[in-house]
Amino acid sequence: MPPSNTQNESAFPPLLAQPPRTLDRQGVGFLVAASRPVLRPGQAEQIQKAARSLPPTTWLAVAHRATTLRTAAWLAAHVGALDLPAPSPARQILERARAEAVQRALRADQLNLQILPWTTGRAAPLLLLKGQAIEARVYPPGVLRPAVDVDVLVRPGRGAEVVKLLHESGFRQRAGTASHETTWASPGNPVHLDVHQTLVDPIRFPVLGTQEAMAALFERAQPGPHGAAVLAPLDQSAHLLLHLCTGMYADLRHVADAAQWWAQVQPDPSALAALLRQWRVERAAQLALPVLQWFDTGVAGDLAAATLHLLGQPGAATRGFALAARAALRKPRQPRWLKLWGLLVQVDDPRGYAWRSTGLSHAAAGAAKSIDQGKHA
């Protein structure tokens, strides 16, 4: 679901109504530093120091990008708690985003309670995925995680039963959903239910598209919020990497989720590397792990580095593509070629047609060389 961008532009001075087309390096650094649900010791002082040097136009650009990347609620909380010198237009954007995030979180809780009978018990047809499952385990009380939708995974062989339950409960399927998931709307609730037939896209990750792999996930599932079934901790750790890899720069919450999870749960790198190899998703993990290192220099970053060491460093082209994508944080809209991200992590064809037909291999390798030489952010 696209993020909500319903700001009333008429409330801002004309020269500040539209954010700059790109965000400078200083603004990107501040955006990433402040887009965290929880600050570690020392990070508050770092953010305060950076905030004092931001000009009003950069503040506005940061607020807009935080809204697009769905971390504005966290940034708004830090602005208030640390008394950061955000100008009034930026504060208005952030406060409006935080108010919307609170409302959506309440509606997501309502939806979770509505489907709770289908996610509890050993034979439950559904398993709770992503946001709510992560929030209940590793987010401290009082820290809001902005909700976009509610995600569930269907137990193998129970798809028809789930569709019947949804229809009988008043849900209606929406058009335009991905091949491995369907989106359902409950009357009066703007938060939708994403029903996944497989954990990830089976075309990109064929091993995880099998009935056996899905059944194993349900066998290892554990009770989560209100008794709802959730992925086992190691499975959750691996899934966060895959989710991060396939959409990391459309939603910075995914990076924050992974960092928060890894810092609290601390998955064993050896066991995690073995699971990633079993799922045949090493290439995807090699794309995601450096981003986790970049975002978190604490426990999560150390564990990511240890896991990457066991899997082996990615090649220049793969690394360059990840770094070029990271640099896209500067831009309000992602470059079109980033939509090919998933094609570049196909397991059975690691040098797949995306490389051959677009020449991205050479471009990404060049980007890696330039970034290593300090020519780009």
Does an H or E element contain 23, and which?
none
Which residues 6+ apart lie within 8 Å of 108 measured at CB? 131, 132, 147, 149, 150, 191
> What's the CA dihedral at 161, 156, 260, 258 to 10 degrees?
-120
Task: Give dist(CA 183, CA 172) in Å, integer.
Answer: 9
Rg over alpha carbons for the chain, rounded to the nearest Å, is 21
pLDDT of residue 373: 46
- Residue in the block written with tokens 């009034």: 88
pLDDT of residue 139: 92
Enumerate the domain spans of the chain.
Answer: 14-86, 116-231, 233-377
1, exposed or middle or buried, with CB in 10 Å at 0-12, 13-18, 19+? exposed
Helices (H) and strands (E) in the chain, counts: 16, 7
Which residues 6+ apart lie within 8 Å of 297 measured at CB? none
Does an H or E element contain 236, and which?
helix 233-247
- Residue in the block written with tokens 């040098």: 351
Q: List the beta bridge partners of residue 183.
A: 174, 194
**Structure tokens of 13?**
């001075």
* Amino acid, res. 173: Q
Whether the CB-CB separation of 56 and 87 falls below 8 Å is answered with yes
Q: Euclidean distance between the first and final Cα of the chain, in Å?
A: 29
CB neighbours (10 Å) of residue 99?
A: 12
The DSSP bridge pattern shows strands 229-230 and 149-154 to be unpaired
**Structure tokens of 155?**
């137990």
Could you say which DSSP state residue 77 is in? H
Task: Give dist(CA 180, CA 204) in Å, integer.
Answer: 11
Whether the CB-CB separation of 287 and 345 falls below 8 Å is answered with yes
CB neighbours (10 Å) of residue 241?
A: 27
Coil, strand or helix at 39: coil
Compute CA distances 228 → 68, 96, 154, 221, 327, whole Å. 30, 31, 13, 10, 38
* Amino acid, res. 28: V
- Residue in the block written with tokens 């801002």: 12
| The Cα angle at residue 260 between residues 256 and 263, in degrees rounded to 5 | 140
pLDDT of residue 328: 56
| The Cα angle at residue 101 between residues 98 and 104, in degrees rounded to 5 | 155
**Structure tokens of 91?**
């504060």
pLDDT averaged over consecutive 10-residue blocks of the chain (377 residues)?
36 43 77 88 89 91 88 94 94 93 93 94 92 89 89 95 95 77 92 93 86 95 93 96 70 86 95 96 84 84 93 69 58 46 36 37 45 41
pLDDT of residue 141: 87
Task: Give dist(CA 238, CA 262) in Å, integer.
Answer: 10
